[in-house]
């Protein structure tokens, strides 16, 4: 595991060796604004999955997650509440020094956990940046956790969260405002439904809001669930909603098409990363020289073209 974390020489070969053993795990992304209760929810989901006798992997991309303590764990697998449970594997990730960033690290670790026999892998990420969108592509089901009164809920939705959510979890329902958040979300989903209906009816509404349909998949409407993760309330329902989405992916044409798209996207991502890695290795000093010339005002397009020509010669 550490060799893969550190991208030790030959780690790609190790990952490749794992491929025949991987592909059975169900990957669930848990994302949303900091403090919404993602880690709390992950803890409860671990319990729930363990009650079903499932082997659980957790990948914590949130550096502040309590089960990591912010530490980079290297070879060690640290667990807190589940320390005595040999069927729970928790890894924390850091982006530092990783070409291709978090999404790649998460994908690599997910493959290891998958090959290791984890039935379910929970991936916690924080925020709504590019990494989160990438990780959403990696997960089979993406749960977006929101908490009322965050003030930035609507902002988060605007930032594209609606597109990646397969299930919405409105957490901290013990606080005021949860119902309003649920209503807001339902309203947005309703609007999105109406747009899709119009689009499928050939009214060309697609251009009006050039966004993906909610849930990113035709045929699936993301449920909006209320939770009090801290007390475990609503967690069973959330687990059931995830299972429903999993069944949708496996058993419907639209779902299978979405799965296939995820796999193609993974190829595109992997190839891009290997390409950049290979190019950096091959061009090394020339790349640095070009960067300096760009810094002095030379045209980056011209410089890039020249670099590409060099690469193709090599
Ligand atoms: N009132 C309330 N607080 C909660 C609930 N779930 C989590 N919290 C608290 O919210 C804070 C942030 O939780 P955490 O799981 O670390 O959020 P994360 O940053 O999204 O991973 C912690 O103090 C939790 O105890 C809940 O259902 N209700
Ligand atoms: Mg957390």
pLDDT in tens, 161-201: 777 899 999 999 999 889 988 988 888 888 777 776 666 56
Answer yes or no: is the C-beta of 122 below 6 A from any ligand 1 atom.
no
pLDDT at 137: 82
Which tops the pLDDT comparison, 86 or 1? Answer: 86
Of the listed ligands, the closest to the CA of 60 is 2
Measured by CA distance, the residue closest to atom 14 of ligand 1 is 37
Answer yes or no: is the C-beta of 172 below 6 A from any ligand 1 atom.
yes
Of the listed ligands, the closest to the CA of 43 is 1
Quick: pLDDT tens for 34-81: 888 998 999 999 999 999 999 999 988 755 544 443 333 333 334 444
**Residue 207 CA, ligand 2 centroid: distance in Å:** 37
98 by Cβ neighbours in 10 Å (0-12 / 13-18 / 19+) ranks as middle
| E strands present in the chain | 26-32, 56-60, 88-92, 120-124, 141-146, 167-170, 224-226
Q: Give CB contacts under 8 A, 24+ apart, made by 176-182.
A: 176/148, 176/149, 177/148, 177/149, 178/148, 178/226, 179/226, 180/148, 181/146, 181/147, 181/148, 181/153, 182/224, 182/226
Answer yes or no: is the C-beta of 174 below 6 A from any ligand 1 atom.
yes
Answer yes or no: is the C-beta of 30 below 6 A from any ligand 1 atom.
no
| Most confidently predicted of 5-14, 43-52, 89-98, 293-302 | 293-302
Give the position, in ligand 1's atom list, of the atom nearest the Cα of 228: 27
Measured by CA distance, the residue closest to atom 10 of ligand 1 is 37
pLDDT at 1: 63
Half-sphere CA count of 97, side-chain side, radius 13 A: 7
For residue 232, pLDDT beyond 80:
yes
């Amino acid at each position: 595991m550490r060799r893969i974390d550190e991208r030790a020489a030959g780690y790609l070969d190790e990952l490749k060796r794992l491929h025949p053993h991987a592909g059975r795990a169900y990957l669930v992304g848990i994302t949303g604004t900091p403090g919404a209760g993602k880690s709390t929810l992950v803890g409860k989901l671990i319990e729930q999955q363990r009650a079903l006798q499932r082997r659980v992997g957790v990948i914590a991309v949130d550096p502040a997650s309590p089960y990591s303590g912010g530490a980079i764990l290297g070879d060690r697998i640290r667990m807190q509440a589940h320390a005595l449970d040999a069927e729970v594997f928790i890894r924390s990730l850091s982006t530092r020094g990783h070409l291709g960033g978090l999404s790649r690290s998460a994908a690599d670790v997910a493959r290891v956990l998958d090959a290791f026999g984890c039935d379910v892998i929970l991936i916690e990420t924080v925020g709504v940046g590019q990494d989160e969108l990438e990780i959403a592509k990696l997960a089979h089901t993406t749960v977006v956790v929101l908490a009322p009164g965050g003030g930035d809920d609507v902002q988060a939705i605007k930032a594209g969260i609606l597109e990646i959510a397969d299930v919405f979890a409105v957490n901290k329902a013990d606080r005021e405002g949860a119902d309003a958040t649920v209503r807001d979300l339902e309203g947005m989903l309703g609007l999105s439904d109406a747009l899709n209906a119009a689009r499928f009816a050939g009214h060309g509404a697609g251009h009006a809001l050039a966004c993906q349909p909610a849930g990113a998949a035709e045929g699936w409407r993301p449920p909006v669930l209320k939770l009090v993760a801290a007390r475990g309330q609503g967690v069973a329902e959330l687990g059931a909603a995830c299972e429903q989405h999993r069944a949708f992916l496996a058993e419907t044409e639209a779902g299978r098409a979405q799965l296939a798209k995820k796999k193609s996207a993974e190829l595109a991502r992997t190839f891009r990363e290997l390409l950049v890695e290979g190019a950096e290795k091959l061009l090394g000093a020339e790349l640095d020289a070009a960067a300096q010339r760009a810094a002095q005002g030379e045209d980056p397009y011209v410089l890039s073209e020249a670099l590409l020509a060099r690469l193709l010669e090599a």
